[in-house]
Amino acid sequence: MARAPLLQLSGISLTFGGNPVFEGLDLVIQPGDRVALVGRNGSGKSTLMKVMAGLVEADQGERVVPPGVTVGYMEQEPDLGAFATLGEFAASGLAEGEDFRVAVAAEGLKFDPDTPVAAASGGERRRAALAKLLAEAPELMLLDEPTNHLDIEAIGWLEAQLAETRAAYVVISHDRAFLKALTRATIWIDRGEMRRNEKGFAVFEDWRDTVWAEEDLARHKLDRRIKAEARWAVEGISARRRRNQGRLRALQAMRAERAAMIRRQGAAEMALESGQASGRLVIEAKGISKSFDDKLILRPFDLKVLRGDRVAFVGPNGVGKTTLLKMLTGEVAPDTGTVRHGTNLQIAVFDQARAALDPDMTLWDGLVNDPGMAVSGRSDQVMVRGAPKHVVGYLKDFLFDEAQARAPIRSLSGGERARLMLARIMARPSNLLVLDEPTNDLDIETLDLLQDLLGDYDGTVLLVSHDRDFIDRVATTTIAMEGDGRAVAYAGGWSDYRAQRPAGPLLQKQAAPAPKPAPAPEPKMKRAAKGLTFTEKHRLDELPGLIEKLEAEIGKLSDLLSDPDLFAKAPDKFRRASEGLAGRQAALAAAEEEWLALEEKASV
C-alpha cells in the first residue's frame, strides 16, 4: 500500500511587488526523498522552501501536511531574542531528557552551546539553528544553505548524519560535493518554473544543458515559422479575406508566444585581467611562526610560491588559515622567520568578512568612491581594467539590475555581496589574487564562471575555501592546517590531499611548546649548498645581491616612467628608460630562474 506524501503543494501562485515568483506550482515530497533544490541566486529557492515550511502564505493554491507529520525548517536568520544562550535556543521544544541531542550536534557542528546569544556571530547562530533542527529529528527537514559557515570537517560530519537519517529532506546548497553525495532527486527552479528530475544532483548539469538545448531548438523553429508567416502576410495574399483571418490570428498568437519566452538569465559577465607579469618567485616564506597569547597558530613553516601557482589553504574554522594568508601577503608580521615577496606584485584581495563594503553606502557609491575605480570628475562612471564604464552597465555585468544600483549594500543577500566584492577586485589588473572564502553564497553557475576565469588567469592565486569540489577544480597545491600549529603542503587539490595524507589522524594532539626564539639573521637567501660545485656555490651566494640590485633599478625606472609628461618633455630619456626597464626585467627573470634552479639543486 502506497504511503501518504509528507508534503503536497497544489496550484501554488505567489507574487511579490507585481512580479510572479511562481504560478500554478505543484510539488509532492514522499517519505525517504532526498532532494536537491537548485537554481540561480534570486530564482525563488528560499521562498519556495518557506512556502513548504508554512512560513510564507501563497496567493493561491494549497499546502497539505498529513496529521502527525512533522516538518522542520532551518532558518537562515533565526530569532534568538527570547533565549540567553545558543544551547537554550537549540534545546527549546525538546522533550525533557533529550538535551543530549543538542550536545551531540554542537560537537559535530563546532559551536559552544553555552555561548551567550548576544555574543554569538551570525555563523554561530546558524549552526545553532541547524543543531536545533537535527535534535528535533522531524520527518521532513528543510535545509537552506546548511553548509555555509561550516568548515570541511563539520561539513563531513553533517554529510554523515544526513546519509544515515531515515527522515526525508530538501536541501539548498551550492556545495557540489555535498549535493552529489546525498541527493537522489533534483528540483530546479528556473524563471518561475519548477522542473523535477528523479535523479540526484550528479546528473543535474547534463540535464540542465539538455533542457536548454531543447529550448533553443524550439525557439529557433518558432522564429522560422514567424518569419515565413510574416512574409505571407506582406507579400500578396489579402489578409482582409475572411478565410485568411484565422491565419493572421495564428501569426499573432505565435508572436505572443515568442514574446512570452523568457530568455535565460546569462551568467555574470565577469572578467579577470592580469596586470604586468610578476617575477618568477612570488612569495618565499622561511621559518615563519605565529602565536596569539597562549594559542599556537603556526609552527615554523616554509613555503615557496611561484608565478602561476594556485595554492589552497584548508582546515577547521579558527585554525589559522586566514592568519597564514595575511602573513604571506605582509598584512600580519610573523613572530619568527621571514617572508620575501617577488617583484612587480599587484595584489587583489577578496575578504571573507566583506570588510571593504560599507553597508550604509549604495552599490553606486560603493563603486565610484573606490579609489581604484574612481574616474576623475565623473560620478556616473568607474574605471574597469583601464577603461571608463557606466556604473549601471558594470553592475549589470554582475547580474544587478538598475533598481539595485541606488539600494544600500546592507539590503543585499550574501550571494549579491559576494558578486559585488568580485566586481571590485575584477575592475583592476592584478597578478596575485588572494581569495578568502569566495565560494560562500555564490550560485553554481557563477562558481563555474569563477573557476574558468581562474583557470585562464596568468597570475597567482591564494585561496581559502571549504568547497571541496571548487578546491579540486582550481588548486595545484593544498596547504592542510589541522590544528596544533602544523601546516603541511600537498600537491594537487582536496582529493589529492585526502589520498596523500597519512592513515589515521594526521596530527596527534600534544602540548604546544612555545615558539623557539628567532635565530640570528643570516644573509638574505643564503643557505648551505651541498650538491653544488664550487662555481655554482659562489654563483648562488652572489645572486641575491644581483637580484636586489635589479629590483632597486626597476623600481627607480618605474617611478621615472610613471611621469605622464616625460614622453612629451624628454622623448629620448623616455625611450632609454623604457629600454632599460625592459632589459632589467628580463635580467631579473633570468636571475630568479637561475637562483631557483641552484636552490633546488642545493637541497638535493
CA distances to 176, 329, 476, 479, 493 from 471, in Å: 11, 20, 9, 11, 6
Contact 238, 244 (CB under 8 A): yes
Nearest to 119 by CA among 162, 74, 85: 85
Judge if pTM exceeds 0.85: no
| pLDDT of residue 190 exceeding 60 | yes
Mean pLDDT is highest, among 112-126, 212-226, 416-430, for 112-126
Residues 141-169, mean pLDDT to the nearest whole number: 93
| pLDDT of residue 6 exceeding 80 | yes
Query: What's the pLDDT at 339?
Result: 95
267-346+429-501 maps to CATH 3.40.50.300:
yes
Percent of the chain at pLDDT > 70 equals 84
Query: What's the pLDDT at 403?
Result: 82
User: What are 559-601's pLDDT values in tens digits?
Assistant: 777 776 777 777 777 777 777 777 777 788 788 778 777 777 7
Query: What's the pLDDT at 251?
Result: 56
Query: What's the pLDDT at 511?
Result: 34
For the domain made up of 534-603, the CATH class stated in words is: mainly alpha
Q: 46 has which bridge partners?
A: none
> Structural domain boundaries of the chain?
7-206, 207-260, 267-346+429-501, 360-421, 534-603
CA distances to 112, 126, 130, 148, 496 from 119, in Å: 12, 14, 18, 19, 38
Query: What's the pLDDT at 142?
Result: 97
Q: Mean of the per-residue pLDDT values for the chain? A: 82
Q: How many CB atoms lie within 10 A of CB 544?
A: 16
Query: What's the pLDDT at 460?
Result: 93
Query: What's the pLDDT at 504?
Result: 44
Residues 337-352, mean pLDDT to the nearest whole number: 88
User: What are 86-117's pLDDT values in tens digits?
Assistant: 999 999 989 888 989 999 999 999 899 999 99
User: What are 464-522's pLDDT values in tens digits?
Assistant: 999 999 999 899 999 999 888 999 999 999 988 988 876 544 333 333 343 444 444 44
Q: Please state, in angstroms and rounded to a whole number, the distance separating the CA atoms of residues 549 and 544.
A: 9
Handedness of CA 148, 153, 155, 161 (dihedral sign): negative
Phi, psi of 559 (to 5 degrees): -65, -40
User: What are 198-210's pLDDT values in tens digits?
Assistant: 999 999 989 988 8
Query: In the chain, what is the straight-line distance between the N-terminal and C-terminal CA atoms, in Å?
Result: 71
| pLDDT of residue 9 exceeding 80 | yes
Q: 9 has which bridge partners?
A: 27, 63
Contact 439, 174 (CB under 8 A): yes
Residues 223-248, mean pLDDT to the nearest whole number: 58
| pLDDT of residue 18 exceeding 80 | no
Reported as a pLDDT band with limits 50, 70 and 90, residue 231 is: low
- Look at 272 and 245; give whichever has higher pLDDT: 272
- Look at 236 and 373; give whichever has higher pLDDT: 373
Third-level CATH fold of 7-206: Rossmann fold (3.40.50)
Contact 480, 487 (CB under 8 A): yes
| pLDDT of residue 164 exceeding 70 | yes
Query: What's the pLDDT at 246?
Result: 61
Q: Please state, in angstroms and rounded to a whole number, the distance separating the CA atoms of residues 489 and 478.
A: 6
Query: What's the pLDDT at 89?
Result: 94
Query: What's the pLDDT at 384?
Result: 83
Query: What's the pLDDT at 487?
Result: 93
- Look at 440 and 281; give whichever has higher pLDDT: 281
Q: Please state, in angstroms and rounded to a whole number, the distance separating the CA atoms of residues 34 and 362.
A: 40
Contact 438, 474 (CB under 8 A): no
Identical fold at 267-346+429-501 and 534-603?
no
| pLDDT of residue 71 exceeding 90 | yes
Query: What's the pLDDT at 355?
Result: 66
| pLDDT of residue 268 exceeding 70 | no
